[in-house]
Structure 1
Amino acid sequence: MKKVVSTSLIAGVLLVPQLVGAAELKSGTLTKPSESAPTTIVKEYVKSKGEFKTIESKSDKVGKVVKLQQTVDGVPVFGGVVVGVVDEAGQLKTVVDDAKSVKNLHKSIKLTEKKAIASYKKLVGHKGAYELEPEAELIVYPKGDKSVYAYQVTGTILEAEEPSRWTYFIDAGTGEVLNKFDQLAHARPTNGVTGTTYTGTGIDVLGYSQTFKTTKSGSYYYLQDSTRGKGIYTYDAKNRTTLPGSLWADVDNVLNTTYDRAAVSAHVNATKTYDFYKNTYGRNSYDNAGAALNSTVHYSRSYNNAFWDGSKMVYGDGDGQTFTYLSGALDVVAHELTHAITEYTAGLIYQNESGAINEAVSDILGTVAEYSVGTNFDWLVGEDIYTPGVAGDGLRSMANPAAYGDPDHYSKRYTGTQDNGGVHINSGIVNKAAYLLGNGGSHYGVSVQGVGVMAMGDIYYRALNVYLTPTSNFSSLRQAVVQSAKDLYGATSPQAVSAAKSFDAVGIY
């Protein structure tokens, strides 16, 4: 029940083995000082690997961070990303090289985008309408000793028993399915109201009194906070499956009924998560451009799930036994919104080890958010809404993954095909490393000095935002986390030493 898929809280999916490859991280003084643009410096360093286009260039406390996408004749290579950090002197100090080996590229392109989309629809098997119609992008897909042109096709289905966002990789020459995985996609835009900002009050799922921003328009107060980014909006699905539902409206700006509680929690927890990322990391919403945070509550009936579809969080009410109202847990809200941040930063593929990193980072930063802006901090995930009749349990434990049947050491990793190749199962290994870094402790004979929850979060956020790439594996994560600790605190700092030891303790090298 606690095994989850993609950006929803609970589900299962068939695995097709993903692209194999891992990034190489190098650090030091990798180039001589230069007056060239940072993008030029990084491109020159990896020019032997092929063609690259700049997809991001930004400044941070270490230097200029440049992210490149590998291409062949202008067509992106799936997973082929290079990240470089250039200092003020124009020296390349760190590079993550995840350029792929494009061998024996088969240049046959027999399928058109239209045919690829038609094939996708047949494969997905959905007979109804799509929330977001499938779109196809031509890519180069490395396949070991050969490479092919393929279409990456993604569509969104919400009007179904289980909402989904299937991404298929379809050989442009043969129509063969090369890979597939499920993740929820972008939905329709927000429809807000125009009015005056007020402060509302209400009771949340956990019984706490809360205050929050609302917008008065006409005779109603709407759960619309226009003071943060492009707004925070909360909708009511009214126990139906049509999304996003109606923007939550109230006549007196006091939300104290039982039915109101899910909405109060969704609105307040989205606000807290926005503030956490803004005030802690300087990040303006998940896209760092103030994207609206939208939430829908009372989705379906007795729905034991929550998911992020790219523009909003959707929460079920739970059945009262396995879950209560899922919007009630701050760490769950922050977990799901961190999936969105991952999509806009590292883009970790949601399968196997990269998918387990994706899941673990959401658990880790959700836990840091709970510590920073929440109440009753612990190292459990989803404890506030899981099995409301049972005290002291949760969906997962970062301190003791084994208590919930998850591995806490690489030697115990799951190697099967369930859970998308163990994305939630194996996240326990990374969660344990993060716990040891933040809290300290001994594991498998390795002692780790804790650096504190917030420092641990700083290190993992930087790793996600700078050094991780779509196909990063656990070894890549170790390099990214250790390098981030060195960047933030110094190469020989206690934080850098503990970062390395935390991975030693869980058998990741």
Structure 2
Amino acid sequence: MKKKLIAPVFLSSALLIGSIPVSSVFAHSVDSSEVSRVQASKEWNEKASVPLFVKERFEQKFSTSTPTNALNYLKKNQSKTGITNPDKNLKVKSVQKDELGMTHVRFNQAINGVNVEGSEVIVHFNENNELVSVNGRINQTIVEHGVDTTATLSSDAALKVALTSVNATEELTYEPTTELVVYPFDKENHTAFKVNVNFMGDEPGNWFVFVDANTGEVIDKYNGLMHAQENKTQKGVGKGVHGEHRELHITKVKEPKSGTKFALADYSHENLEGIFTYDAKNDGSSGNDTLYVGNSASFKGDYDRAAVDAHYNSEKVYEYFLNEHGRNSLDGDGMAIVSKVHYGENYNNAFWNGSYMTYGDGDGEFFISLSAGLDVAAHEMTHGVISKTANLVYRHQSGALNESFADVFGVLVDDEDWEVGENIMAPAAKAGGVTRLRSLSDPNSVVVSNAQRAAYGSGVYPAHMDEYYNMPTNVDNGGVHVNSSITNHAAYLIGLEIGREKLGQIYYRALTVYLSPNSNFSDARQAIVQSAIDIYGEGSAEEVAVQSGFDAVGIY
């Protein structure tokens, strides 16, 4: 008798999310006082993240597209934007000029110089220095009531609390960071240290922990794991997981005791630090990871295959973002692209940990080596792009958008179909009917990964807001994987009308120009519509296709 296999995974910043107990969610009825509390929380949260989208009918002309002139506009239009005292309450975060000649000035909302977490405003100038629109999100509760930003706790003490709270391993992937912020959470604006801790091990994490800057208590936390001599690059060859012949860029290296070797290190791309593939040696620790090295320029052994595909696919994704969008690596500034293969023991996972991609070998039952999927590589690397641009918070609708944009670019790079993960499924999984992880074309055809998630919806991926999964934060980070399929399906419908290339141009612009950390589905629609207008014109077939695609999935 064949075992019935249900896919246990979701592609993600961590490709897999482990089973999370539902606990007592259904154990009691909700009384009237509980309803009142929830309603009050909802009202407060709406004021804590007020969406903003102002489009000028008649462009406001300025001499230059600078932060100063952006602030001048905001000061004169406070009643229109809802932003009071912008010169006091906004800090310049970045200034970006794009290929259309437009300039985008991005501000953080701040109080007493302390950034308000997730609250950003973006002012957009056209090529003629005319201000055409403003969008983002503002915390109105801070404007109305203020916040005491005094911190009595030290950043070192906050770091110790954070490390303990997430059971961090002794060995960290990189130096932790701490930043004093105002963090809106649970009906209060907290002055807190935002601590980012990253580690590998059996349960790798890219944790963001918010520690009260006065009491030392953990306010909130979430795992953002999105699951010596001059070297000269030369050509090499290899065999991929599925047996494909791969041409590779590799580097000849000399080792003192063993002579000449060949490393999966690619220095061939101008203004790029390099593309590197490491061997994680199946031990679950980053301490023993080494650059993948072979005895010849031919990498065709069975153990080589995962590394060959990771190295090859990394270059393909790099070339896509460079050639299609003019983006030099994940950060746009030539950062090194690093992959690690053979992670863990029979590890059914692949993830972006905030710095590099990591691929497990699979258990042979559900997955084969996860580096075999070009769409998987594109998905994980897109999480890197997202973290360097809109930085969508990895929870609820903003987290679902994070997953969705990663999926969309996954199928744009691997353009054979509109499915995600079809090349990493093991024979046994396929025999049980699990042939891919998600489908942009037909979301309902894929079953969600476990009964806990199914308890909040129909048990299949939703294709419309009528099928939305209302999940608590402790289940799938509030539905980031499941609900991503709604906006995925919108992208598919748009792509059918205008083609993949235009879809990519519009989505890349929305991600890098208009979206901000707490953007929700409605914000995404506005951003993607505006991006279509920017590139192709108001009333264009492209704008109509975008509007229709979102209408079709119930995002209005």
Same fold (TM over 0.5): yes
Q: Is the 8 A contact 2:206 2:225 kept in 1?
A: yes
* TM superposition shift of 1:202: 1.1
Q: Is the 8 A contact 1:30 1:92 kept in 2?
A: no
Question: Which residue of 1 is the match for residue 183 of structure 2?
Answer: 141
* TM superposition shift of 1:468: 0.4
Give 1:71-90 correspondences, 5 Å limit: 71-90=110-129
Question: Which residue of 1 is the match for residue 3 of structure 2?
Answer: none
Give 1:334-373 correspondences, 5 Å limit: 334-371=378-415
* TM superposition shift of 1:112: 1.9
The change in CA–CA distance for 1:136 and 1:171 in structure 2 (over 3 A counts) is same
Give 1:192-211 correspondences, 5 Å limit: 194-211=230-247
TM-score (norm 2): 0.83
Confirm or deny that 1:241 pairs with 2:284.
Answer: yes
Structure 2 gaps, min length 5: 1-6, 23-40, 255-259, 447-459
* TM superposition shift of 1:166: 1.3
Confirm or deny that 1:231 pairs with 2:274.
Answer: yes
Residue type of the alignment partner of 1:123: S
Moved more, 234-243 or 21-30: 21-30
Residue type of the alignment partner of 2:537: G
Question: Which residue of 2 is the match for residue 59 of structure 1?
Answer: 97
Question: Which residue of 2 is the match for residue 413 of structure 1?
Answer: 468
Residue type of the alignment partner of 1:387: A
Question: Which residue of 1 is the match for residue 553 of structure 2?
Answer: 506
Q: SS where residue 153 of structure 1 aligns?
A: strand
Q: Which aligned segments of 4 or more residues in structure 1 are displaced greater than 6 angstroms?
A: none
Question: Which residue of 2 is the match for residue 384 of structure 1?
Answer: 423
Q: Is the 8 A contact 1:4 1:419 kept in 2?
A: no
The change in CA–CA distance for 1:89 and 1:492 in structure 2 (over 3 A counts) is same
Q: Is the 8 A contact 1:463 1:484 kept in 2?
A: yes
Question: Which residue of 2 is the match for residue 444 of structure 1?
Answer: none
Question: Which residue, 116, 132, 135 being the options, matches 1:93?
Answer: 132
Confirm or deny that 1:7 pairs with 2:13.
Answer: yes
Q: SS where residue 199 of structure 1 aligns?
A: strand
**CA distance in structure 2 between the aligned counterparts of 1:24 and 1:332, rounded to whole angstroms:** 34
Q: Is the 8 A contact 2:206 2:354 kept in 1?
A: no
Give 1:40-189 correspondences, 5 Å limit: 40-47=68-75, 48=78, 49=83, 50=86, 51-60=89-98, 61-101=100-140, 102=142, 103-126=145-168, 128-143=170-185, 146-159=188-201, 161-184=202-225
**CA distance in structure 2 between the aligned counterparts of 1:397 and 1:480, rounded to whole angstroms:** 23
Deviations 1:163-211 (A, max 9, x none): 01111112223334332210239xxxxxx86322210011111211110
Moved more, 309-318 or 174-183: 174-183
* TM superposition shift of 1:46: 3.0
Q: Is the 8 A contact 2:177 2:195 kept in 1?
A: yes
Deviations 1:61-108 (A, max 9, x none): 151121111211211111111112102332211211312221341445
Confirm or deny that 1:453 pairs with 2:494.
Answer: no
* TM superposition shift of 1:38: 2.6
Question: Which residue of 1 is the match for residue 250 of structure 2?
Answer: 214
Root-mean-square deviation (Å): 2.3
The change in CA–CA distance for 1:421 and 1:5 in structure 2 (over 3 A counts) is farther
Question: Which residue of 1 is the match for residue 67 of structure 2?
Answer: 39
Residue type of the alignment partner of 1:10: L
Percent identical across equivalent pairs?
Answer: 38
TM-score (norm 1): 0.91
The change in CA–CA distance for 1:253 and 1:326 in structure 2 (over 3 A counts) is same
* TM superposition shift of 1:217: 1.7
**CA distance in structure 2 between the aligned counterparts of 1:467 and 1:2, rounded to whole angstroms:** 34
* TM superposition shift of 1:507: 0.5
Structure 1 gaps, min length 5: 186-191, 372-376, 440-449
**CA distance in structure 1 between the aligned counterparts of 2:252 and 2:303, rounded to whole angstroms:** 20
Question: Which residue of 2 is the match for residue 481 of structure 1?
Answer: 528
The change in CA–CA distance for 1:13 and 1:354 in structure 2 (over 3 A counts) is farther
The change in CA–CA distance for 1:13 and 1:106 in structure 2 (over 3 A counts) is farther
**CA distance in structure 2 between the aligned counterparts of 1:246 and 1:193, rounded to whole angstroms:** 17
Deviations 1:285-336 (A, max 9, x none): 0000111111111112211111112222111111111110110100000000
Residue type of the alignment partner of 1:67: R
* TM superposition shift of 1:31: 4.9
Q: Is the 8 A contact 1:105 1:146 kept in 2?
A: no
Residue type of the alignment partner of 2:266: D
Aligned residues: 487
Residue type of the alignment partner of 2:358: V
* TM superposition shift of 1:278: 0.3
Report the structure number with the largest CA radius of gyration: 2
The change in CA–CA distance for 1:301 and 1:455 in structure 2 (over 3 A counts) is same
**CA distance in structure 1 between the aligned counterparts of 2:436 and 2:352, rounded to whole angstroms:** 20
Residue type of the alignment partner of 1:11: I
* TM superposition shift of 1:29: 4.2
Give 1:284-323 correspondences, 5 Å limit: 284-323=328-367
* TM superposition shift of 1:3: 4.4
Deviations 1:477-498 (A, max 9, x none): 0000110111111110011011
Q: Is the 8 A contact 1:3 1:424 kept in 2?
A: no
